[in-house]
Structure 1
Amino acid sequence: MDKTVADLATAVAGIADGMTVMIGGFGGAGAPIELIHALIDRYRATGHPKGLTVVNNNAGNGHVGLAALIEAGMVAKLICSFPRSADPVVFTEMYLAGQIELELVPQGTLAERIRAGGAGIPAFYTPTSFGTDLANGKPVEVFEGRSYVRERWLKADVALVKAETADTHGNLTYRAAARNFNPLMCMAAAETVVQATRIVAPGGIDPEAVITPGIFVQKLVQVALPQQEEVLNRAHSTYPLEA
């Protein structure tokens, strides 16, 4: 029942070439920076994992976190809503050079596709994107006189998630807006890897406050002082540091 692991390297050790990886966060809020950087460290040491499909709200900013993962050449495809965020220079340059594939998904549809994956719902209908290029090739049905596009669920091999407090059984809480996509991704992944600011004993979280039940969490590592993407970017940080 104790889902804690010794360190970040152990937490990400099971991620393999070609996997689909969901990464929580809305911009920097709730983004598991340390887990992402640990994955980059593993790639630099072993050459793996590579060819990843990453699901995230945006395309990363600056040269840290998701942007650094893309810059390292580890991501073959990105599924996201906002490829043009505050400073998406890494993704933009690689996309224009044909080095990364993009699947653009409206934000509400992205959230619902992930939720559907966790709920075991293979497909659903939404009016969003009807009549646009994003609907090309997708089935369309009419309900009560309005056209709806059929969208498929999204599931992942692994989700990387940032929580505020966890108990050793994997029950999670989140800090304010850091909640965002994280709970949905926990449900939609075969394995959820969590970095938490605090890890407490079972019973240390009020059951009424639990957002993600421990049944959806497989690995848990404590990061007592997590870095914030926006702070790193204001300091013009890069990862790895010598990059």
Structure 2
Amino acid sequence: MSVVPENEGLQVDYSNYPKQPSVTSKNDPNGNHHATAAKNQQKGPFGLGLWAFAVLVAAVTAIVVGGAVGGGLGAALANCQSRLRLLPPRLANAHCLRARKPRRPDQVNNLTLECPEAGKSREVGATDGYKFDMWCGIDAPYGTRTQDGGTISDIAGLIAYTLDDCLQACIQMRNFNESGHGVRSCESVQFGARLKDHVAQYGSNCWLKDGKKEKGRWERNGMKSYAYAEVQD
């Protein structure tokens, strides 16, 4: 006689239910998450990651662009220098972008001196709002009578390659005087354009003076290379 279990017919058939996806531990070396990660990680050329490849492309681009800019600048400087050789010295004042070493005074015979008409003055603007009246062919040596009845003394002698440089030195001397540095104020300058000769004979070609030459009949004989300038009142 067969005995039927009490729970016969009440068993659950699991085959009719959907199966739960298997979960693999991240520490399981045999799990399939490694394969999934490898599948999702894209590779660039040469086996590099996308970020590494992007950085490499940016670096190469910077090098190529830098070389092109540098080469273009070098070519522009060469062309500039070539064009300057074809211009007269008076017009070749354009500056190529390079450092320039000034020539020694004993290598420069004559400096540029833009003179007004004979017997007339020319106004020259300078920094700090100063203006000068300039004459060519006029000398104002030490001991020359001044407009206030005194005599002119030289404050300093220096080497200047342009009249503007000489005027600027005079302005700085005035600024020192006004600041209470205990120096005499510059009232006028004498500038010599024959740099080599003046430096060889006097040690300078720009003289700062503490007075203004007395007005009157100024001698101009043999003084073509000199310029005299006074600070405007």
TM bin, normalised by shorter chain, reads under 0.3
Rg bigger for which structure? 2
Q: Which has the higher strand share?
A: 1
Q: Which has the higher helix share?
A: 2
Provide the TM-score with structure 2 as the length reference: 0.21
